[in-house]
Structure formats: C-alpha cells, structure tokens
Structure 1
Amino acid sequence: MSKLFDLSGKTALITGSSGGLGLAMARGLAEAGAAIMLNGRDAGRLADAERGLAAAGHAVSVSAFDVTDEAGIMAAFAGFDAAGTEIDILVNNAGIQFRKPMLDLDVADWRRVVETNLTSAFLIGREAARRMVARGMGGKIVNIGSLTSEVARATVAPYTAAKGGIKLLTRSMAAEWAKHDIQSNAIGPGYIITEMNKALVEDAAFDGWVRSRTPAARWGTPEDLIGAVVFLASPAAAYVNGQILYVDGGMLAVL
C-alpha cells in the first residue's frame, strides 16, 4: 500500500458506527491500518459490530455514548485520556432523518434532528480537536454531510438545515484548526441503500426517480464511501481542508 493512504498507527473514532455507513467506513479505515473506536447507543449492536471487525483481524474497541449528550461526550473523552487513547481521526457520522412538512413540524422534532446531525459534530469535533492541538501532531476530522448540504428537498427541512450547517461547520473548523495541521473535510453521500432509507428503496416510484436522476443509474452502497473517507483521513489529503466531497453517482452534476 502507498504510504499516502497508510493509516497504520492511527486511531479512528467513528460515531454512529454500529451499522450502515458508519460501520462500512470503520471497516475501510481498519483495512487501511487504523485502530477503530466504534460508537453508538445500542450496546448489543456495538458488540456485534466489534466482533465482526475483530474476527477480520482488526484492532477495534467500542465507546457507547449519546452524541447529543455533552456530559456523556466529555466523559467519553475523559475516559480516552485516562486510558491513553489518542484519537487521530474523527468521523462525525451519527445522524437521523425525520420527514414532515414544515407547516406541521414541531420545534422538538426540529431540535432533535439538528442536535443529532449538526450540534453533535461541533461537540465531538471540539473535544477531539482540543486534544489534537494539545498533542501538536495534527489530525483529521471528516464530517458526514449529504446532498442536502447543497440542495433542498421537501419534507426534510431540519435535516437539510443541519446538513447545510455541516458544510459550513467544516469550513469553520478548517479556518480555526488548519494552522495546527488538522484537516477538516466532509463527505456528501448521495442516495445510499441503508436501513434509514429502506422505505425509499422499497417505494417503486422513488426508486425509479433515484435511478433515472442519477447518472450512475443506481443507488450507492455504504462501501462506496470507503475510498473517500480513507483519502480524507490519510496523508494524501494533507493539503485538502474545508472541502466537501460529494459521493453521489453524479446526481449534483446534472439538471
């Protein structure tokens, strides 16, 4: 493997990684040589994911905390400090979706989506960066955005606002932390086959729309994100900062 993409000796924390996109990216980072810290709220699912990666010969551990709970996040990082665990790579992946027209939307649901998808990236990014700065050895932060970091779709206003915020939060991280050799970038997935999108995949009309609207003429898979996350987490991206890389089969490129 080229040293440009070699993550040996690095530790990566991936939030929301007990399944779906997070677990696929964790597996890709592990295959590039990184030790993996999985995160989620469901201890059973985390244990299953940990066993799977360990069985494949990867160095893996877990940290169960709620990404919207600032006290829980602080406690998790204090635990990393006490154990001598240094997070070199952070992937802010945890997220939720909620579909409802804005005229019928309760503020509680708005806050829940924004806090999970956007505020969590700030909180966890802040704690990771504090330690990266103190160590003086740089680091990598990869935030997970969306097509809705760039464009909107009806009935998902909180998600769209949060993912739009991810794009500019990423640029803010770059503006403040690049001088510390921390590269902060984002990935904007297109329509990916995941549990969260199960109802859309099974909707014949929506499935047809995705396939016809996407130049690649297919849905993406979680594995389609591996190349992007390994690149952004690696020495190959040492001068890439504040960017969002869309992995969308070309959807945003065409009318």
Structure 2
Amino acid sequence: MIHMFLPSFNLSGKVAIVTGAGRGIGRALAIGLAEAGADVALISRTEADLERTAASIHELGRRTLILQTDVTSREQVRDTVERVMREWGEIDLLINNAGMNIRSKALDVTDEEWQTIMDTNLKSAFMLSQEVGQRMKEMNNGGRIVNISSVAGHVALRTGVVYAATKAAMIQMTKVLAMEWGKYGINVNSIGPWYFKTPLTEKLLADEDYVRDILAVTPLNRVGELPELVGPVVFLCSEAGSYVTGQTLFVDGGMTIHGF
C-alpha cells in the first residue's frame, strides 16, 4: 500500500478576501490565490485598480467581487464583509494587506501622520479580522487569516517609526488572535516581507546607493520578486499549513538574520 503524505495546496471551493488588492503585493496575492483555486473578493479604495486585478482572476475562471472600501471605516468594513456573505455565503480566507507609509523622521511625525498610518495599517487589519473572524466562528468551519507585516516589525529600519510600530503590533496581534481563535479552528499567521519590486518601491529601488545598502544586508543578494510571496501565503491558507498558527514567516532573502 502506498501512503500519501503530501498535503494539498489546492484552494478550490474557498472564498478569500484580499485588501489592498489593486496593486503590488495585494494584486499578486489575489491572483495567486485564484490560481490555487479560490474565489477572491477584492478590496481597495481605487476601483480602477481592482478592475484590472479582477480581469486577471476572471481569465483564470474564478469568481471575483470588486469592493471599493475605506478599510479604516468600521461601517464600510462591516458592509463589505456582509456583502461577501450575501453573495457567496462564506469566507474561508482573509489576507490583510492594505497598508501605507509616510517617511517622516521621529521628531517630525505629526499627530495626523501617526493616526493615518495607524488606522490604515493596524486598525483596518484588526477590524477586518474581527468582522471576518466572527463569521468564521459562526460558520464553524474554521478559516485562515494572513496578515502582511514587514521585517520592519522585527528589526529597526530607516522606514519610519510609525510604520515600524504598526508592523510590530501586527505581529503581536497575530499571536493573540491565534491564541484566542484556535479553538474555533481559525489559523492566524503573518508574512514579513523585505524589499519586493512593486509600484510603491519603484522610486526607492531606482536609487543605486539605496539598493546597494539593501543588498549588503540581504544574504541572497537580491530584491524579492512578487511570486516569491505568493507561495508562502498559499501554504498558510491551504491544508499544507493546517498546523501552523501564530507565526510570522519572514520572506526576506535572509535579511532578518543579518540586521540593518
């Protein structure tokens, strides 16, 4: 008798929500989840960006919803989650990817900058996790939540103190939610990327001196490519990752073992 030990990475029949799905990492993850078989609800403030992502998902033969949403608004987040439930009847996967940064030095950070970054990066992820987690609990089928954090939540970087604070808080939030919701069969994990080629990093990565500094502390000696984030997220969302929870997987070319 042949025993099969390889768990499934297939997400067919699963319903996913991806925030910040119009561009960059969010777009790549949304399309990657669809490639793995999931139907994907797309959230962003910019509808035009979502339409481009939706077109790619339709080409894969998967269902998609375009949900133009301000993820810092409790009312809009709740309405969006309720619409996914009305349309598709379940939510199995949540990817909290929406985020932003304002590169101010600590002595120059304004109250407005602090609140904007906190709301966009951290509050939104908590509200979506709370709203979706409640549905997952009620459905009694478990679920997977993956928060997109950053190496900036683990080591000190020249990225801005508020951004770093939100990402560190997200890592700790991931642990606490995993602790509280494990009894409902809900796995909560996070991903900590280093530099990847996206529209948001394009300007920074055009600076040869800046890239030289990045590569000097990256053992793999290169910037990441977006498909290299898709595999870890699909793993955490699939049966292959069913016994992993409360963890942060740094997808960073080894940067966090070096420091900066």
Matched, 1:46 2:58: no
Structure 2: gaps (5+ residues)? 1-5
Structure 2 residue aligned with 1:141: 145
Whether the 8 Å CA contact 1:97–1:196 is kept in 2: the answer is no
C-alpha deviation, 1:155, in angstroms:
5.2
Root-mean-square deviation (CA), in Å? 1.3
In the other structure, the counterpart of 1:94 is 98
1:188-207 deviations in Å (ceiling 9; x for gaps): 00111111112210111101
Structure 1 position 208 matched with structure 2 position 212: yes
CA distance in 2, matches of 1:77, 1:8: 20
CA–CA distance in structure 1, aligned partners of residues 7 and 54 of structure 2 = 27
- Are 2:79 and 1:64 equivalent residues in the alignment? no
Do the aligned partners of 1:214 and 1:251 also contact (CA within 8 Å) in 2? yes
2:183 corresponds to which residue?
Answer: 179
Which residue of structure 1 aligns with residue 154 of structure 2? 150
Helix, strand or coil at the partner of 2:200: helix
| 1:88–1:140 contact (8 Å) kept in structure 2 | yes
Structure 1 partner of 2:172:
168
8 A Cα contact 2:47 2:66, kept in partner: no
Cα deviations by residue, 1:20-46 (Å, 9 ceiling, x for unpaired)? 001111111111111111111111111
Cα displacement (A) at 1:118 = 0.7
| Closer/same/farther in 2, CA of residues 107 and 203 from structure 1, 3 Å limit | same
Normalised to the residue count of structure 2, the TM-score between the two structures is 0.94
SS at match of 1:122: helix
Distance 1:155 1:25 in 2: 23
Displaced runs of 4 or more, over 6 A: none
Q: CA deviation at 1:9?
A: 0.6
Q: How far apart, in 2, do the equivalents of 1:4 and 1:212 lie?
A: 37
Residue 121 in 1 paired to residue 131 in 2?
A: no
Counterpart contact for 1:102–1:155, Cα < 8 Å: no
Q: Which runs of 5+ in 1 are unaligned?
A: none
* Residue number in structure 2 paired with 1:26: 30
Counterpart secondary structure, 2:152: helix
1:4 counterpart SS class:
coil
1:97 deviation in Å? 1.1
Hey, what's the Cα distance between the residues in 1 that align with 2:82 and 2:187? Answer: 23
TM-score, length-normalised on structure 1?
0.96
Distance (whole Å) between structure 2 residues aligned to residue 227 and residue 154 of structure 1:
28
Give the conservation status (yes or no) of the 8 Å contact 1:12–1:36: yes
Question: How far is the alpha carbon of 1:81 from its aligned partner?
Answer: 3.0
Aligned residues: 254
Q: Which amino acid aligns with 1:122?
A: F
Separation of aligned partners in 2, 1:116 and 1:36: 21
